[in-house]
Amino acid sequence: MKIMFACIFCCITVLCNAQQGIAINEDGSGPSPSAILDIKSTNKGMLVPRVSQDQKNGIVTPANGLLVFQTDGQAGFYYFSGGEWVFLSTDKTSWSNTGNAGTTNTIDFIGTTDAQDLNVRTNNVDRLRISQSGQLEILNTGQSVFVGQQAGESDDLTNNYNVFVGYRAGFSNTTGNFNLASGYRAMNSNINGYRNTALGGDALFDNTSGYN
């Protein structure tokens, strides 16, 4: 009779607590009003399911937010979101946008570990690509190449097919096309001149519309 009464009391307690959430602790405190489950301890942790990669991938119809700890491969916590398992990276495995310390250039890198290109974007537009074969590709500049501070600064980025290399090389060019300028301020003043070749510092500096 005592056992039956204790069981009934426990069931009533759980049901009552379930109205506001469930608390698991050793001090008898109630759950936080904002939590469905409130776990408190000063010397113990919460142990989530530990699974292998195959076991994780074998979970049928995982719910968004499902959390597991993978024990093999890239071990660590994974949560399911948007149709895929997402690895919860740590400071040790992530790159910070304010810089990293303690790196080793033979171990740490930014890039891919599979046969995929690496893209760099500004304003959400691809600007630079390192292909899986090692080519360095400059993108979305109207088939032009600009290398150097303010090189091609004024180009309208239509298909002008220019190559400007060096500080302010081709700085004023807007619609000029098929030009090659290499050197400090080479073709600096060109606006719409085309098919010119300027090599060396200040080469064709004053040219604005001349063509070759």
Q: Cβ(176)–Cβ(188) under 8 Å?
A: no
Q: By the 8 A CB rule, do 75 and 87 touch? A: no
Are the C-beta atoms of 144 and 160 separated by less than 8 Å? yes
Residues 10-58: tens digit of each pLDDT: 443 444 444 578 999 999 999 999 999 999 999 999 999 999 999 999 9
Average pLDDT in the chain: 89
Q: Round to whole Å and give the CA distance between 211 and 177.
A: 10
Per the listing, tokens 């379930």 go with 18
Q: Is the pTM of this model over 0.85?
A: no
**Helices and strands (H, E) in the chain, number of each type:** 2, 13
User: In sequence order, which residues have a C-beta less than 8 Å from that of residue 106 and are 6 or more positions away?
Assistant: none
**Residue 122: C-alpha distances to residues 132, 136, 143 (Å):** 21, 17, 17
Residue 144: other Cβ atoms inside 10 A: 22
Q: Where are the alpha helices (DSSP H) in 36-136?
A: 53-57
| Residue 130 backbone dihedrals phi, psi, to 5 degrees | -105, 115
Q: Which has the minimum average pLDDT: 42-56, 57-71, 74-88, 90-104?
A: 90-104
Rounded Cα–Cα distance for residues 112 and 73 (Å) = 17
Rounded CA-CA distance 31/20 in Å is 7
Q: Is 190 helix (H, G, I), strand (E, B) or coil?
A: coil
> Average pLDDT, stretch 160-188?
98
Q: Provide Rg for the chain, Cα atoms.
A: 31
For the chain, domain boundaries: 50-87, 117-211
